[in-house]
Amino acid sequence: MASVRFTVTPTKAEDLPGLSDTSPDLSSRSGARVRFGSRESVNRSDPLSEASGGLTTSATAGGGGTDTPDHSNAEQGDGNSKISSVYINNSHGVDDDDFYDRNLALFEEEMDTRPKVSSLLNRLANYTNLTQGAKEHEEAESIGEKKKTSKMGTFMGVYLPCLQNIFGVILFLRLTWVVGNAGVLQALCIVFICCCCTMLTAISMSAIATNGVVPAGGSYFMISRSLGPEFGGAVGLCFYLGTTFAGAMYILGAIEILLMYIAPKAAIFESKNPDGEGAAMLNNMRVYGSICLLLMSLLVFVGVKYVNKLASIFLACVIVSIVSIYIGALVSLENSTVGPTFEPTRAPAQVEKATSLWKQFCDGLELNASCDEFFKANNFSQIEGIPGLASGIISENVWSSYLSKGDVVEKGSLSSSHGLHPASTHQPYVFADITTSFTLLVGIFFPSVTGIMAGSNRSGDLKDAQRSIPIGTILAILTTSIVYLSSVVLFGACIDGVVLRDKFGDSVKGNLVVGTLAWPTPWVIVIGSFFSTCGAIAKDNIIPFLRVFGHGKANGEPTWALLLTALIAELGILIASLDLVAPILTMFFLMCYLFVNLACALQTLLRTPNWRPRFSYYHWTLSFLGMTICLALMFISSWYYAIVAMVIAGMIYKYIEYHGAEKEWGDGIRGLSLSAARYALLRLEEGPPHTKNWRPQLLVLLKLDEDAHVKSPRLLTFASQLKAGKGLTIVGTVVSGNFLQSYGEALAAEQTLKHLMDKERVKGFCQCIVAQKPREGISHMIQSSGLGGMKPNTVVMGWPHAWRQSEDPQAWKTFINTVRVTTAAHLALLVPKNISLFPSNSEPCTEGYIDVWWIVHDGGMLMLLPFLLRQHKVWRKCGMRIFTVAQMEDNSIQMKKDLATFLYHLRIEAEVEVVEMHDSDISAYTYERTLMMEQRSQMLRQMRLSKSDREKEAQLVKDRNSISEHHRRVQMTWTKEKTSQYRATHSGCSTPEGFRDMLSIRPDHSNVRRMHTAVKLNEVIVNKSHEARLVLLNMPGPPKNPDGDENYMEFLEVLTEGLERVLLVRGGGSEVITIYS
């Protein structure tokens, strides 16, 4: 039979049954409202409710009124009633406006799994709706904790904490000594390299921290969520050890300031022999350090928040101290500070009279008194310790002057003559306590630039963490870098080199060397530096990470972790030397920073869909440069410490990762590739992919024509634009027939697909299945495609064109069956409509918008797909607009704010619009369109039935002829009258009366309501998006009852009428996008 076209003229509204002059007017009635198939008017047991128009009036006289079912025509069933509705899900037997929203009736069957956007948006915007990707963050937040009303901004929340963590004990105790030994040039080089390292790391950290909501937990959570638990555990342990040893270093710095400059008499151990003073000092440091650590541990156990309130006071003291250094440098332009500094020279001058220096090195004031031999062999003179900025002393301090352990600290330009008389430790000479070198100074100075993660650790307390963390951290690093670099120049320009090399200030009466430069008094620096160490100790900079080890008591304090931390810090304190502890924590911090840079570089290069940092000033080359500097600094400062730190990290990594996996190397590179692929597939098999790692793994279903040519090659072009060369792509087709007979056709089809994939530059695999029926072949392909964890999660298939004109309904039935199969398999589904109008890879869109119509939430596919498409050159210049629908009861203004907030957290830039769909009456056009659809459907059904009857009759004749023995004429048992009678009873369209009966049917309630949804949505979509380059739209699910399949196709047609390019999207039932990092 040729293709059939129908020209059924819709009846007028007034001619419809139940719509007489006495019935409410559909178009102009304002006082009463006509409702078709509403919850109140649907009565499953009443034939009228299913068969008749379901006409219900709700009078609103007096402002009230209730919906009253009209049962006056209850006996007038027309014989076409259905037992149950095709669409309505009977399991929902309670009144629920969400399920029976007139404007969204097309989506009501799946509202339990795909809720309305308006009902979900507020929770999404405030990320209280914890979907996959947020579950592991629940532990990071105290469930019973009330939300803090006071949120901090960039200055108080990030900038000042970073300043307090970065400015530390090294600035006051060791920077002058570093400048004195390395010289101004090398000291600038040390500071610049260290500051570049932290700046590059901060850029990488900003990218990671702004890639979603960062929970409390700081660097451990950032690294573990970016590189996985193995790296996260290994690097997290390095960061933990680094912060713990940092606590030990700050305690040692505080004790050094206390015993050296504040209360020297508080020393417990004293040595009468000058050779034992160093050992006695170390023992004092151990005792006082252990006592201080015990007090700090008790303080943290009770609650560190009380001391944190003093943090601003501590920071103020530090800032005052730094300012006093600058003021002192400026004051030194006019005044010069004189210190009893020794300047030994080779030629001893003739002493005319005893000076104060003579008294220190000789037994008496007489010129012939017994004096120290080294003193007599060299000339000692008292010089200006701080000549000032105008003195030009910087020319002497430009170059390095490294010392070996035991060397006398002396003026670099005039070396002494040791000869046979070395300097005695019993005299007040200043000796170098350790051998210095460029690499050693790097390791000692680097801890003074750490502390850049203080802002990210406070992310939970910030108003806008994604904005504050990058700005505050980078500004803090710039500020401290300027302070350090200018301090190096100031120290070199104001202080004599021999004083700079005096680590403990013995030559300036035991004062802190930097304190001698400060104005108005050295005590400003002493007190400020002491408070800086106290502030660093009291900072809660290690407690957030301790939560990784689990909670201890019921009060939430991590008791065992605190005990472990105290024991590790005690190890650092037992080392007792600030210069030996600093390189250790340098290693651990550098290891942590190295992996932060590695995480950012890998995420950028892999281009995972979830990698959408709001901070855009990053690049993978910067991350690799930062990683290289970290690695170089590790080996520069101490190669053996570096190896130890890397071994520790490697052991932790293997411990976490180890599952007893066997290695089968085989032979050659191919064996290695097979082993790596097998290992990777087994790892993928361990669990479902995390939301962050979700990317569309496509199964593209293509249809071949009789000549084995692909019918819609643009489908593969669209897939290539969506994938951008990443992830898994399987291109499949079904060949009808028997496998044994059609194997050659299957191979030819496979070659055709491979050729097309090469042409479209799609990297992937092709699969061809031979089956008797296409729908069975597609079902088998969906079930069996992929291997292990590399299975498709998204199916792409074309829209069945000209399904209305097709004589064979198998095309659209196969389409609907595929929709059902993908839903059952929990796969996402993409259906491009009008695929021939989609742009090719050589036709980039120069302008325009990709419009997203987000009606129901089904996992975030609608948000992710435009982002992925815009990564491709074809769609890169297109903007993105997101529309959602508000009902009468929704607050559209609040919905728009919530949607903007949600997109901000998703790091997706798009214009937002909320379209209000008023609860309007069902129009006559909708009613007539539904009626026309049902009449057409019934007519087709009757024609298919009559065709089947004719085929049965012809087969019967054939069978009777075949069994005739004498070739005699067979008398037909089907007489003409019997045949006419059968056709009259089984075909409603054979007679004019049959046509009239069919035209008098009333549309089904649910069909009217669904048509109303399709018409209304289509109106607003076409109105807003008629010029859009691409429209993405939620695809309603097919009816649970297959009898309504043809109506379902009609609904989709109505929904997408008037749109040039449409992509219908169905989620797979799992979240594919997350606001978390």
Q: How far is CA 168 from CA 513, 530, 535, in A?
A: 16, 10, 9
Amino acid making up residue 813: K
Q: d(Cα 862, Cα 1063) in Å, to the nearest integer?
A: 10
Q: Which residue has the tokens 């170089």?
A: 632
Predicted local distance difference test score (pLDDT) of residue 91: 38
Q: d(Cα 409, Cα 497) in Å, to the nearest integer?
A: 10
* Domain limits, CATH 1.20.1740.10, in the chain: 158-338+437-655
Backbone angles phi, psi at 771, to 5 degrees: -150, 155
| CA angle centred on 35, ends 33 and 36, rounded to 5° | 155
Predicted local distance difference test score (pLDDT) of residue 345: 44
Q: Which of 483, 504, 534 is nearest to 317 (CA)?
A: 534
| CA angle centred on 233, ends 228 and 235, rounded to 5° | 95
Predicted local distance difference test score (pLDDT) of residue 632: 94
960's enclosing H/E stretch is helix 924-962
Backbone angles phi, psi at 342, to 5 degrees: -95, 135
Residues 70 and 17 sit within 8 Å (Cβ to Cβ): no
Q: Which of 907, 1077, 207 is nearest to 600 (CA)?
A: 207
Q: d(Cα 797, Cα 828) in Å, to the nearest integer?
A: 11
Q: What is the DSSP string of 624-641?
A: HHHHHHHHHHHHHH-HHH
CA dihedral 561, 565, 570, 573 (to 10 degrees): -170
Is the CATH number 1.20.1740.10 carried by domain 158-338+437-655? yes
Dihedral sign for Cα atoms in the order 774, 775, 780, 783: positive
Q: d(Cα 236, Cα 222) in Å, to the nearest integer?
A: 10
List all residues 6 or more positions away from 352 whose beta carbon is below 8 Å from its beta carbon.
none
Q: Which of 389, 385, 412, 384 is nearest to 493 (CA)?
A: 389
Run means of pLDDT, 10 residues per run, the chain, 1077 residues: 39 40 37 35 36 36 40 40 38 41 74 78 60 43 43 87 86 91 95 96 90 66 69 76 88 89 85 76 91 84 67 85 89 57 44 65 72 74 80 89 84 61 68 88 92 79 84 95 95 90 82 82 80 61 40 53 85 88 90 89 83 89 95 90 85 67 37 70 73 83 83 88 77 88 88 88 88 89 85 90 70 87 92 89 87 88 89 90 86 88 86 82 67 70 61 59 46 49 48 50 71 84 90 88 78 87 89 75
How many Cα atoms are found within 13 Å in the side-chain-facing hemisphere of 323?
A: 6
User: What is the reported pTM?
Assistant: 0.68
Q: Which residue has the tokens 């018409």?
A: 1015
| Local structure of 362: helix, strand or coil | strand
Q: How far is CA 808 from CA 4, 557, 860, 939, 1041, in A?
A: 11, 71, 36, 15, 21
The CATH number, out of the four listed (3.40.50, 1.10.3470, 2.60.40, 1.10.287), of the domain defined by the range 694-825 = 3.40.50
Neighbours of 911 (CB within 10 A): 13
Predicted local distance difference test score (pLDDT) of residue 128: 47
Amino acid making up residue 306: Y
How many Cα atoms are found within 13 Å in the side-chain-facing hemisphere of 376?
A: 11
Predicted local distance difference test score (pLDDT) of residue 223: 67
Q: For the chain, state the CA radius of gyration.
A: 41
Predicted local distance difference test score (pLDDT) of residue 50: 37
How many Cα atoms are found within 13 Å in the side-chain-facing hemisphere of 469?
A: 35
- The secondary structure of residue 1010, as a DSSP letter, is H
Q: d(Cα 313, Cα 324) in Å, to the nearest integer?
A: 16
Helix and strand numbers, DSSP H then E, in the chain: 37, 14
Q: d(Cα 721, Cα 874) in Å, to the nearest integer?
A: 7
Q: Which of 500, 385, 386, 496 is nearest to 441 (CA)?
A: 500
Q: Which of 590, 621, 556 is nearest to 442 (CA)?
A: 590
* Domain limits, CATH 3.40.50, in the chain: 694-825
Neighbours of 514 (CB within 10 A): 29
Q: Which of 838, 635, 822 is nearest to 720 (CA)?
A: 838
In 825-891, alpha helices (H): 861-869
Q: d(Cα 1068, Cα 1049) in Å, to the nearest integer?
A: 21
Q: Which of 765, 763, 760, 766 is nearest to 716 (CA)?
A: 760
Q: d(Cα 769, Cα 427) in Å, to the nearest integer?
A: 95
Predicted local distance difference test score (pLDDT) of residue 360: 74
Q: Which of 81, 819, 190, 634 is nearest to 449 (CA)?
A: 190
